[in-house]
Each structure stands twice: as C-alpha cells, then as structure tokens.
Amino acid sequence: MEGLRFEAGNPWRVLEFYSGIGGMRYALLKTGVDAVVVEAFDINDVANDVYEHNFGHRPHQGNIQTLTAADLDRYKANVWLLSPPCQPYTRQGHQKGSTDARSSSFLRILEVIPQCSLPPLMLFVENVVGFEKSDTHKKMIAMLHENHYDTQEFILSPLQFGVPYSRPRYFCLAKLKPLSFQCAHFNNELLHSLEPLHCWQEKILNARAKKNSDASNTVVKVTENCLPIRDFLELSNTRGDTGKENGEAGGHIDNYFNEYIVPPSLVERWGNAMDIVFPDSMRCCCFTKSYYRYVKGTGSFLATATENMNDESFSLQELRLRYFTPREVANIHSFPADFQFPEHVTLRQRYALLGNSLSVGVVAPLLRYLFSEGVV
C-alpha cells in the first residue's frame, strides 16, 4: 500500500460496489460533496437497468471476485462505498458468515485493499444488524486496523432521522491515516446514537459563529421527531382525507390503488400476523424483498378506511388494507421524487429491488460526516 493523497480542489473519485438501484449514489448526491462516481459494480441485470435509467450510466456487470488490485488502481479512486449481500448475516440466511458463498466477493475486496498501490482513503460499508457479530466483520476490522485505518461504527435506524421507518442497519466508516474523523474520540467504537454527528455539527456551528456567518445551509439536519406516514404516501385513497379527489379524478385514483388492495382471503388468514399502520402512524416495519409475495414479516400494510374502528363489531376487513406502493416504499427509503423504474420492471421486481436497497436518509448524513474533514 503506497497510499494516495487527496489533491485539494479536485472532486473525490468514488467506486460504488453492489450499487443496486442507486441508493448509495443518491445519498452521495444528497451530501452536496464534490464527488464523482467513476464506476459502479453490480451483478444484477434488472438492478443495473434501473440504475442506468436514473443515472445514464450502466454499472459494470460482472463478478467482483475477478477484480484485481491492478484493476481497481486504474480507477484512481479515493473513496469506496460498499453495500455487500446481507443474507450471510441474517437468521433467514442461517448466519453462515464467511462460509456463505454470497460473502465471497466482499471477502475478496478485503483481500485486495492491502494489495492496492492506490488504496482508498475512505470506506463506507452498510449491512444488516448481525453483521457486527460475524466472522466477516472481524476480518474486515482486522484488515482496516492493520492497514492504518481508523474506524467508527454505527447501528442506526431511519427513526432517528425523522423517518417513520423501523429499519436498523449496521454502518462502518473508515479513514486512512493521517486523515481523521472530526470527532476522533469515537474511533474504534460501535455506537447506537447520533452523538458523533451532533458533535460534528456543534463544531461547525461554533466555527461559523466565530466568523459571524450562518451555518444553517451547511449543517446536515438530524432529528428524532418522526413525520407521519401520510407525508410519504402518494395521492391519498384514505377515507376522510382533506386532500381526497372527487368525481372522475377520484375514480382514477381508486382504480390505481385497487391493484394494491390486500385480498380478503389473505386478510382472513394472516390478519393477526400483519403489521397494520395508519396515515397518522409514526412507524412502519422494514420492507423486505419478499413484500407483495408474502404477508408475514415482509413489511407493513396501510389501513385506508378507519371510520368504524370504534365500533365493537369492527373487523380487519373493514380497514380496506393495502400494500404500500413501490413509489411510497421509495419515499420511505428517502429516494428523490425523480427516481423511476423502467416500464419493463415488474411490480414484484420493484418491491424486491427496493427491499434490497438502503435508506438514503440515514446514509447521506453519515457520508457527509465521513467526508467532513475534506469539505469543512
């Protein structure tokens, strides 16, 4: 590892591994950091269709395990963003860790980093809760520390950033010395709070105050006060909403949402196992790649008719439950309004791709914090 010093005034050069439908890239764009994605990598053909549709660039589609240090050095990238497969670290995936074939490509990346002549100055890794207890995690942390990286690790949920979405995830931020974190006293810790981000913001505010300038446009806002689910919905089809359309337009809206109504047979069979939420709810469950295929444990269902809930004879069928639409799931993942799926991507594929994606609203502040030394 010869190292590479970042040249001030030039954009950060970023490699995006396991790029999926572009959640990491959207988070990077949201930071406002001067950075360019020089290449993205993903093996999923449909995910690459979606990525290309939104960014005009098709990720490199091939097995990451075949990449060599020389291959990666050619990109002259100084930041690597990674969201490797989570199945080896979940209960459903039997928590096989490094012995699971799906972990092989990430393990290969860990092997390659010390071999690079131009290793990344910064790394960002996202995965499921449980990864931090795996042997893969131990190998990653050992490699980073042996090769002179400082790390800060987090387990955070969108709920901590004002989004009514219970989806805790593991994050690792790493910087190659002599680069340092703004709040270095949190180095080598695993945190469940936003304390480093608050600490960093206080530093910015104090610095700006000394210069009598307004820092409000440069500080990333984080909040623990969640917005209601209704703020993330498409045109409402919930009865009693003030924004409900009438007449012909209302008919079009109802027809659109009919595709997402949960069949009465499923409500009767699985109703007691469903996580049911309402437009005013401040939390919904994690949407998995199996949402819309299965009912139990795959995500929340929206009640669209609630006027009879106080009636003792009230039944779940009267709630007129529906699935969240792909657009609404994207909204809850904090994807921008202009994010779209190509027309040929099926409904089930859309849910699966979103279930495999990440929360832009969580990743963006963490990336901004990671980049902070170079941009503050």
What is the spatial order of strands in the sheet that 321-323 belongs to? 275-277, 300-303, 321-323
CA 194 to chain centroid, in Å, comes to 16
Burial annotation 298-324 (CB, 10 A radius, 16+ → b, else e): bbbbbbbbbeeeeeeeeebeebbbbbb
Report how far residue 271's alpha carbon sits from residue 212's, in angstroms, rounded to the nearest whole number. Answer: 58
Q: Which of 59, 22, 21, 54 lies closest to 38, judged by CA?
A: 59
Six-digit token pair at 332? 């809850």
Rounded (10°) CA dihedral 43, 45, 50, 52: 80
Sign of CA dihedral 87, 93, 98, 99: negative
Candidate list 86, 116, 284, 286, residue with the active-site label: 86
116 is catalytic: no
Cβ burial, residue 39 (10 Å; 0-12/13-18/19+): middle
Query: Phi and psi at residue 285, in whole multiples of 5°?
Result: -85, 165
Q: Which of 112, 160, 100, 144 lies closest to 15, judged by CA?
A: 112
Active-site positions read 86
